[in-house]
Chains A and B, each alone.
Chain A
Amino acid sequence: KAGVTQTPRYLIKTRGQQVTLSCSPISGHRSVSWYQQTPGQGLQFLFEYFSETQRNKGNFPGRFSGRQFSNSRSEMNVSTLELGDSALYLCASSFTYRGPVSTDTQYFGPGTRLTVL
C-alpha cells in the first residue's frame, strides 16, 4: 500500500507570496492532519480534516488554511508569506476520526520544505 505523498517536496517563495501544498493520504484513510516543524518551535499541529470538514485547529493565524476533497486528498494554503513560515510542513493521515475517544496512529508523509526569502 502506498504511503502518504506530499507535493512538492521543496519550494522557494518570497515574502508576500502565497503557496499551496498538497497531500494524498494512504488509500482508505479519511483523516488528514497538517503539522509545521521548525527548529525553534518544533512540531506544531496546524489542522485536521475528516470528511471534508475541519475537525481540529491549532494556534496559527488565519493566513494558514486548508481543505479536504471528497477523495480525502488535502491541500493547505499559506497566504502573505513571512520569513518565519520557512519550515518543513508534514502531512499525516489516519484511518478515521474518533473525536475525544481516541487518537489514531498517524502516518506521516516525507514533508514539503518551504523556504521563504
Chain B
Amino acid sequence: SQQGEEDPQALSIQEGENATMNCSYKTSINNLQWYRQNSGRGLVHLILIRSNEREKHSGRLRVTLDTSKKSSSLLITASRAADTASYFCATGAAGNKLTFGGGTRVLVKP
C-alpha cells in the first residue's frame, strides 16, 4: 500500500510557468524525499527534507513540509520542457525503506 497521495495526478503548464504539486502521508516520518522519473526510467533524487525542517530550496525547486498536516509540496519555478516527467514523494520512517506516493505527471509545453 502507498503511504502518500499526490495531488494533482497530472499537470499541464506552459514553459516558464511554475508547477506546484502536493503530497500527503499518513504515518510519522524521519524525512521526505522527492524524486523525478522520465518515461519509465530510473528515479532521480531531487531533494530531501527532514522532519524538523519546514522549507528547503535547491536551484529552481522549493519543498515545504508540514508535519502537523502530514503534507509536503514541491514547487518548480520557471519550468522548462526538460522538466516534463513524473514526480514522486517518498517518505522514510525506518531504515532505507521508502514509501512512495502515486506520483504527479507534469507536462511542460514549449
Q: Could you tell me which A residues sit within 8 Å of B by CB distance?
A: 4, 31, 33, 35, 42-45, 48, 50, 55-56, 58-59, 88, 90, 92, 94, 97-111, 113
Contacts and interface: CB of A to CB of B under 8 A. Distances in A.
A102 to B, nearest CB: 5
Contacts of B95: 48, 55-56, 97-100, 103
Contacts, number: 88
Interface stretch (B17-25, B37-45, B64-72): B37-45
Interface residues on B, range: 20 to 34
Q: Which of B1, B33, B96, B97 has the most CB of A within 10 A?
A: B96
A105 B42 CA distance: 14
A42 B2 contact: yes
A45 B42 contact: no
